[in-house]
Structure 1
Amino acid sequence: MGKTSKDKRDIYYRQAKENGYRARSAFKLLQIDKVFHIFDGVSRVVDLCAAPGSWSQVLSKRLYENNCISMSENNLDKDDVKIVAVDLQAMAPINAPICVKQLQGDITQLSVANEIIAYFDDKKAQLVVCDGAPDVTGLHDIDEYIQSQLLLAALNITTHILANGGKFVAKIFRGKDTSLLYSQMRVFFKKVSIAKPSSSRNSSIEAFVVCENYSPPDNYVPQMIDPNTTALDKNIVPFVVCGDLGNLDSDMSYSLISDGKYEYKEVLQKPISPAYKEILEKTKNLSLKHQNYLLKETH
């Protein structure tokens, strides 16, 4: 029928439900960690633009697993591993294996940064991740610009809450002007790479900037206006594909029945208050013809 009929319920969508993740994006973070080992030695993490919470789920599980040995050796408990999830929207709780602290707030506000540091007992995070993205319009130039502003906002608050030597991972839309963003990252980090997980569709312009070894310029004072207070330098940023030919292809359709059995599973965590809830209530008792008419009138 056309591109609009493409089945979005790909192999990673189905595997997310089978593994208890709220979204397929969980595999993107797992594949990034497989290459860059971003969870090693980490016990304080911030997940920006966290809803619906799939990355927070990965953090809760992996940080618990990574810290289990050190916990037993040093007489620590899982409360010493702290994760903060920040989003404007409410998010269903994540309480196991490690409880995720939720802050419903704006990442451009200094008060949010202060709350994060207070939760870490006046310490700073060792890792900040951000999978946030705007509602895409389909107009690539506009989408790239809005995403770049979101990325800069994430970088801005990161300069307040990230400890020296820390890591920062965030979504980026690749475009003709993104070299400027790479240069901005290099002002604050010793190493910057661009990762494309195999679970990210080839047709998507998304990638992830992986920044390691946070080292702000001398005498730099974080501010919520513009983090870019030093001259930018030009650098060639390595582009890394996370995964190999053995990974499942996120753009390919796979049979639902691989071993003769397939059990359908509902979405693990449905939206709490979706924007379309009101219109669904209005149209549930109408015929299809009247539903289409009402939708046209609404738009």
Structure 2
Amino acid sequence: MGKTSKDKRDIYYRKAKEEGWRARSAFKLLQIDTECHIFDGVSKAVDLCAAPGSWSQVLARKLNENYKKALETGNASPPKIVAVDLQAMAPLEGVIQLQGDITNTNTAQQIIAHFDNTQADLVVCDGAPDVTGLHDMDIFIQSQLLLAALNITTHILRPGGTFVAKIFRAKDVSFLYAQLRIFFPYVYCTKPSSSRNSSIEAFVVCKDYSPPEGYKPHMLNPLLTHEPCNFEELTGVNRIIVPFVVCGDLNQPDSDMCYPLNLDGKKYKYHEPVQTPIAPPYAEALSLLENRRAGSSFTFDHETEFNETDINIAIENGASSMAEFKKNALITATENNSEDSDAIAKTESIKDENKEEEATIAALQNLYVSEEAGNIDNILI
């Protein structure tokens, strides 16, 4: 393939190189801002999962434009941008880089320290897993990455701030929306035109960060920190326990015990099931049994014939399929006919011995006849 093959195929890839963006994803953030105005009034921003840095480039350009406009109307503080990623990233002018884990509390503390112990106005995250091709797995990992980004956002975003992150639109995406709505009253799902239609990716724009009253940000989720969660440290709205209710009193029967049939002085009486099986696995055996009673042939493979007693015993032993029924019936027939088999074997051996004796007698008689004939010939000579 030639060097220009990808440029022909992807217009945004070509435009990104022409305009100096590190990746085509820069256009996604620009188009989101055109529709949702996420950069209005923003001077401090955080880019999570920033590598290779295209969104950090957009942040630097847009926040510098805001700074210049603010200087025209009065005093303004220079913008601050912090980019976080596990991978190393080439330096960007005006962007502070942190090589760290977004699921670690220390990373959140370092971000706050760069903002002089204040919180960010905007948090963006374009992170996505290395897709495996197993869609359910990829969607699950992406949802966990989104929740990890939301978790650290609760540490570093000021009330009223904005959160933008990548999301995979899948079957259970409404569950993620519900979790985001806990912290943001305004949640939008956007699909920039630079995002391919064949991709299930989209972006959630969450505005006006409003955590529940009394909520305390934490990193106690074992899925994120791989550390045990001490629920005793949580109080108020942070400690929501779903009640577990046991129904029924201790005087009622225990489902894990075995009880005699005659219980509490009452004589046991068998009752038929309220609804018998519609297509039981032993239906074929019952059908064959009825045919046997009606006088029709009742044989299986290899011309093995079973009588009515064999069938009844096999059914009583709980045959769950025709194959098991045949197996049980064969075992039963073998056990019932073992004595007859021994007798038949003895009879056959006796017949074989009689045949050998008859053959011996016949041979002796033939020899006697031949000797008599030889003597007569000698006399005639």
Question: Is the shorter-chain TM-score for this pair beyond 0.5, marking a shared fold?
Answer: yes
Alpha carbons of structure 1 residues 6 and 14: separation in structure 2 relative to 1, 3 Å: closer
User: Which of 122, 125, 131 matches 2:126?
Assistant: 131
User: Which residue of 2 is the match for residue 166 of structure 1?
Assistant: 161
Specify the alignment match of 1:66 in structure 2: 66
Structure 1 counterpart of 2:217 = 222
Other-structure match for 2:30: 30
Query: Offset at 1:229?
Result: 4.8
Q: Deviations over 1:34-62 (max 9, x none)?
A: 01000000000000000000000000001
2:87–2:99 CA contact under 8 A, matched in 1: yes
Partner of 1:212: 207
Deviation at residue 139 of structure 1 after TM alignment: 1.1
Bigger shift: residues 101-110 or 6-15: 6-15
Deviations 1:12-46 (A, max 9, x none): 00000000000000000000000100000000000
Give the one of 77, 82, 85 matched to 2:80: 82
**Which structure has more strand as a fraction of its residues?**
1
Counterpart CA distance in 2 for 1:204 and 1:6 is 18
Deviation at 1:66, TM superposition (A): 1.9
Determine which structure has the larger helix proportion and give its number. Answer: 2
Does the residue aligned with 1:189 lie in a helix, a strand or coil?
coil
Aligned ranges 1:126-275 → 2 under 5 Å: 126-226=121-221, 229=238
Q: 1:230 to 1:67 in 2, by over 3 A?
A: farther
The aligned counterpart of 1:264 is none
Q: Is the 8 A contact 2:31 2:192 kept in 1?
A: yes
Is this contact kept in 1: 2:50–2:85, CA < 8 A? yes
CA contact (8 A) 2:7 2:13 kept: no
Q: Which residue of 1 aligns with 2:52?
A: 52
**SS, match of residue 170 in structure 1:** strand
Counterpart residue identity of residue 116, structure 1: I
| In 2, Cα distance between equivalents of 1:218 and 1:45 | 24
TM superposition shift of 1:72: 3.8
Are 1:113 and 2:111 counterparts? no
Structure with higher Rg: it is 2
**Partners of 1:45 and 1:57 in 2: how far apart?**
12
CA contact (8 A) 2:43 2:66 kept: no
Please state whether the residue corresponding to 2:208 is helix, strand or coil: strand
CA shift digits 1:211-266 (9 cap, x unpaired): 000000000000113499588xxxxxxxxxxxxxxxxxxxxxxxxxxxxxxxxxxx
The CA distance in 2 between the partners of 1:36 and 1:209, in whole Å, is 11
Question: 1:172 and 1:12 mapped to 2: Cα distance?
Answer: 20
**1:174–1:63: structure 2 CA closer, same or farther, 3 Å change rule?**
same
Q: Which letter does structure 2 place at the counterpart of 1:81?
A: P
Which letter maps to 2:19? N
CA contact (8 A) 2:162 2:209 kept: yes
Query: Contact 2:7–2:14 (CA<8 Å) still a contact in 1?
Result: no
Q: Give the TM-score taking structure 1 as reference length.
A: 0.71
Shift of residue 9, structure 1, vs aligned partner = 4.6
Q: Answer yes or no: is the 8 Å Cα contact 1:189–1:211 preserved in 2.
A: yes
Structure 1, unmatched stretches of 5+, are 232-299
* Contact kept in structure 2, 1:189 and 1:216, CA below 8 Å: yes
Deviation at 1:120, TM superposition (A): 0.4
Contact 1:168 1:212 in 2 (8 A): yes
Q: Is the 8 A contact 2:48 2:125 kept in 1?
A: yes
2: distance between equivalents of 1:19 and 1:157?
Answer: 32
Q: Which amino acid aligns with 2:63?
A: L
The letter of the residue matching 2:198 is S
TM-superposed CA distance for 1:75, in Å, is 4.0
Query: Matched residues in 2 for 1:163 and 1:75: separation?
Result: 21
Q: Distance in 2 between matches of 1:174 and 1:13?
A: 23
- Residue 312 of structure 2 corresponds to which residue in structure 1? none
Q: Which of the pair has the greater relative contact order for Cα pairs under 8 Å at 6+ separation? A: 1
TM-aligned CA deviation for residue 67 of structure 1: 2.0
* Helix, strand or coil at the partner of 2:191: strand
Runs ≥4 in structure 1, deviation > 2 angstroms?
5-9, 71-77, 225-231
Structure 1's 8 and 92: CA in aligned 2 closer, same or farther, altered over 3 A? farther
Q: Is the 8 A contact 2:39 2:63 kept in 1?
A: yes
User: How many angstroms apart in 1 are the aligned matches of 2:47 and 2:79?
Assistant: 14
The SS at the match of 2:97 is: strand
How many pairs are equivalent?
A: 222
Structure 1 residues 16 and 7: CA distance shift in structure 2, 3 A: closer
Distance in 1 separating the partners of 2:31 and 2:88: 27
Q: Does 1:40 align with 2:40?
A: yes
Q: Contact (CA 8 Å) 1:187, 1:230: kept in 2 or not? A: no
Judged with a 3 Å threshold, the aligned counterparts in structure 2 of structure 1 residues 12 and 221 are, in CA distance, closer, same or farther, namely: same
